[in-house]
Amino acid sequence: MSDAKRKQAKLVLKRKLFHMLFVSFMLVPFLVELKIGEYMISYIQYFSILLGFAVVVNVTLVRMPEIRDEIIKQSRLFRRQFTEIMTSFKPARGMAELIEKFDESLTRFEDMLIREISLLERDYEKRGGYIGMVAGAASILIVASFLPEFLLPSILTLFTIDVVSAIVGAVFGRLFLPYSTSTLEGCIFGAIAFLPVALNYMEMWNAVFISFTLAFVEAYSIEDNFFLPISCALLMYAISLFK
In this prediction, residue 92 carries a pLDDT of 53
Q: Distance between alpha carbon 51 and the CA centroid of its chain, in Å? A: 14
Q: How far apart are CA 116 and CA 96, in angstroms?
A: 30
| Neighbouring-strand partners of residue 35 | 40
Q: How far is CA 4 from CA 192, 195, 212, in A?
A: 27, 32, 29
Of 78 and 30, which is predicted with more confidence?
Answer: 30
DSSP alpha helix (H) spans, 63-150: 64-87, 93-120, 123-128, 131-146
Q: Is 35 left (phi over 0), alpha (psi -120 to 50) or beta?
A: beta
DSSP helix/strand/coil, 243: coil
Compute the mean pLDDT over every residue in the chain, rounded to the nearest whole number.
Answer: 84
Region 179-207: mean pLDDT is: 96
Model confidence pLDDT, tens digit, residues 123-156: 544 444 468 889 999 999 999 999 999 999 999 9
Region 62-85: mean pLDDT is: 69
Q: How far is CA 157 from CA 88, 105, 180, 193, 223, in A?
A: 62, 43, 19, 9, 13
In this prediction, residue 58 carries a pLDDT of 79
CB-based contact 161:191 (threshold 8 Å): yes
Asked if pLDDT for residue 90 goes beyond 60, the answer is no
pTM across the whole model? 0.76
| Neighbouring-strand partners of residue 39 | 36
Region 210-224: mean pLDDT is: 96
In this prediction, residue 211 carries a pLDDT of 98
Quote the percentage of the chain above a pLDDT of 70: 77
Region 216-228: mean pLDDT is: 95
